[in-house]
Amino acid sequence: MTTDTLPPTDATETPDPVAAERAKREAWREETTAMVFLDVYGSQSSLDKPWTWVDADGTGHSYRFVNEGCPEWLSGYDSPLPSDVDPDACVCVLTTIVGSDPADAPPGYRVVSSYQAGEHDCPECEGRGTLGHEEYVPEDLRGKACPLCEGDRFLYWGEEWQVVVFAPRYSYGSGMSGCTYDNGPHTATSKEEAIRALVETFEDYFEAIANEWLDLDQDSSDYVDSEDCERKAEAEEQAMRAALKADGCYRFTRPDLAGADYCEIVDLTQK
């Protein structure tokens, strides 16, 4: 989706206050209508900034109407979204470009839902076409055509407008063999992000290996050099990073200290 491009203006021209006010009103109408389509009208004052990115072949993309999170009707107990989707981690956009191919999603995301924006009763005038005479309505607008729907009573941008829901591409967690995750699943938009999170989760594990010499009787035959323990901890962390990057899974050498048999990262577009 491309955003509107205005022609260059002569810096010496005197600004037209009428045109400026008209442009301001039209921008408000567009964003507010988009908020209705994205099911966030009344819950927030504006949408997030446009979402732009460049794909692998250098092509630039931009979504103009963006909101973090899912519409409320997609977040409930009976949500039609896949069970591996965290609604709070989703990003919804209003656009004329739709596709279920992972290549159509921004890097680190996948398409999990898309539907037509449809037709909505205007919430500003409650489908009447004109504003009422309530106290909260400015006096100069009472009884006049609704500035949002312009008297049409409903909002509709055509069949080509769609709401697309994107969710993070990766999930990660850890647990015991044969069981569901004890920790997770969590989501990430890159494998590197997931690796960093898992390494941070098991910081205490690496520290326990590095300090294992403290738990041994230094006068016994089990004596272990402290520097050797530190090297083992560093080697364990590096092995974990390498395995997660290459295979997406790592099995701990000391599950008794880790509190888990394994940790893994799953590319949800490959499921």
- Per-residue tens of pLDDT for the chain, all 271 residues: 444 444 555 556 677 777 888 888 899 999 999 999 999 998 888 899 999 988 878 888 889 999 998 888 887 777 788 888 888 899 999 998 655 455 578 889 999 988 899 999 999 888 888 887 777 777 777 888 899 999 999 999 988 899 999 999 999 999 998 777 788 899 999 999 999 999 999 999 999 888 876 665 555 545 566 788 888 899 999 999 999 999 999 999 999 999 999 999 999 988 7
134, 168, 202 - which closes a domain? 168
Identify whether 11 is part of a domain: no
Q: Radius of gyration (Cα) for the chain, nearest Å? A: 27
pLDDT of residue 103: 57
Do 230 and 242 lie in a common domain? yes
Chain CA centroid to CA 226, Å: 44
Burial (Cβ within 10 Å: 0-12, 13-18, ≥19) of residue 187:
buried
Q: Which residue has the tokens 């409930």?
A: 76
pLDDT of residue 223: 54
Identify whether 47 is part of a domain: yes
Q: Which of 129, 110, 127 is nearest to 119 (CA)?
A: 127
Contact indicator for 263, 249 with CB cutoff of 8 Å:
yes
Do 124 and 218 lie in a common domain? no
Do 148 and 223 lie in a common domain? no
pLDDT of residue 3: 44
168, 184, 209 - which closes a domain? 168
Q: Which of 98, 89, 90, 91 is nearest to 116 (CA)?
A: 98
Which CA distances in Å does 78 have to 75, 165, 233? 8, 17, 45
Do 43 and 133 lie in a common domain? yes
Q: How many structural domains is the chain composed of?
A: 2
Q: Which of 156, 157, 128 is nearest to 141 (CA)?
A: 128
Rounded Cα–Cα distance for residues 227 and 241 (Å): 21
Structural domain of 182: 170-270
Do 159 and 25 lie in a common domain? yes
Do 180 and 200 lie in a common domain? yes
Pairing of strands 162-168, 154-155: unpaired
Amino acid sitting at position 96: T
Contact indicator for 221, 271 with CB cutoff of 8 Å:
no
102, 134, 168 - which closes a domain? 168
Kind and range of the H or E run holding 203: helix 203-210
* The two three-digit tokens of residue 143, written as one number: 């009884």
Contact indicator for 187, 170 with CB cutoff of 8 Å:
yes
pLDDT of residue 218: 52
| Beta bridge pairs of residue 41 | 44
